[in-house]
């Protein structure tokens, strides 16, 4: 199929490189077009206070992932427990994606489990939260990160697969390297307490919306097809 194709569209540079390695397809046949935003809502500017200011007002973290364990949901819960115990007793975590609670234990204090949501509902959640956290164990693209950034919400992912293509540590979020919940908890604190990350993410969200609209994706496809006539 790859040999007979005029061209192949890939949703990330990581996936394009992996496809070349796995299949032997010619690099000249592949064009990275990314993908478009599905959960997109109105822009609502807001600010996130520093960690010291969160003692009286809860910080709201968001995790969105139907495949809970592959997306690192278990790691987020462990980091959440550390934060509530040691640093941020009022921190809250909203979990969206799985149809039912994915663990045999009960839902922990400070966690709001919403189950499966539609894209418009998820878009509203981005507007209501302060930080998107998803240290995914495999991510060939990671549209949820881009959707969060399109709403001015900093993101935390993993330094692997396609995630470094969208997440710029110190600018719009951070990347963790391990499954250590202490590393994730410390990273969450660092991002929340960095006002420049919030400012940069707010300043660039319009550009994210433009770059990852379905219209922009279609335009990149058209350019590819014209170039390969």
Give tens-digit pLDDT for 79-136.
999 999 999 999 999 999 999 999 999 999 999 999 999 999 999 999 999 999 999 9
Q: What is the pLDDT of residues 133-144, one digit of tens each?
A: 999 999 999 999
Q: 16-33 pLDDT, tens per residue?
A: 999 999 999 999 899 999
Rounded to an integer, what distance in angstroms lies between the CA atom of residue 28 and that of residue 57? 53
- Tens of pLDDT, residues 29-72: 999 999 999 988 766 555 544 445 444 568 999 999 999 999 99
Would you state the pLDDT for residue 48? 47
Q: Is the dihedral of CA 126, 138, 118, 60 positive or negative?
A: negative
State mean pLDDT over 203-215: 95
Q: Helix or strand or coil: residue 110?
A: coil
pLDDT, position 5: 87
What is the average pLDDT value for the chain, to the nearest integer? Answer: 91
What's the mean pLDDT in 155-182?
97
Letter string b/e over residues 7-20, b meaning 16 or more CB atoms within 10 A of that residue's CB: ebbbbbebbbeebb
pTM recorded for the entire structure = 0.91
Residue 178 in contact with residue 158, Cβ under 8 Å? no
According to the 3-state scheme, what is the secondary structure of 22-58? HHCCCHHHEEECCCCCCCCCCCCCCCCCCHHHHHCCC
Q: What is the dihedral of CA 113, 125, 131, 197, to 10 degrees?
A: 180
Q: Is 97 left (phi over 0), alpha (psi -120 to 50) or beta?
A: left
Residue 62, SS3 per DSSP: strand
Judged by DSSP in three states, 14 sits in helix
| pLDDT value of residue 180 | 98
Answer whether 93's CB lies under 8 Å from 80's CB: yes
């Amino acid at each position: 199929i790859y040999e007979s194709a005029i061209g192949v569209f890939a949703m990330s540079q990581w996936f394009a490189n992996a496809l070349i390695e796995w299949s032997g397809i010619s690099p000249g046949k592949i064009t990275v077009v990314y993908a478009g935003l599905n959960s997109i809502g109105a822009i609502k500017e807001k600010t996130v206070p520093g960690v010291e200011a969160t003692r009286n007002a809860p910080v709201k973290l968001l995790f969105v992932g139907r495949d809970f364990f592959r997306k690192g949901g278990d790691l987020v819960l462990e980091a959440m427990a550390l934060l509530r115990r040691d640093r941020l007793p009022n921190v809250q975590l909203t979990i969206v994606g799985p149809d039912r609670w994915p663990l045999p234990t009960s839902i922990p204090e400070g966690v709001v489990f919403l189950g499966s949501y539609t894209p418009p509902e998820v878009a509203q959640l981005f507007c209501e939260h302060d930080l998107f956290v998803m240290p995914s164990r495999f991510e060939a693209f990671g549209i949820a990160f881009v959707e969060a950034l399109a709403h001015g919400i900093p993101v935390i992912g993993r330094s692997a697969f396609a995630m470094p293509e969208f997440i710029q540590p110190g600018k719009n979020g951070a990347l963790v390297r391990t499954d250590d919940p202490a590393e994730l908890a410390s990273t969450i604190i660092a991002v929340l307490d960095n006002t420049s990350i919030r400012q940069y993410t707010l300043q660039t969200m319009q550009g994210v919306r433009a770059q990852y609209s379905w219209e922009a994706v279609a335009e990149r496809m058209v350019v590819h097809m014209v170039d390969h006539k």
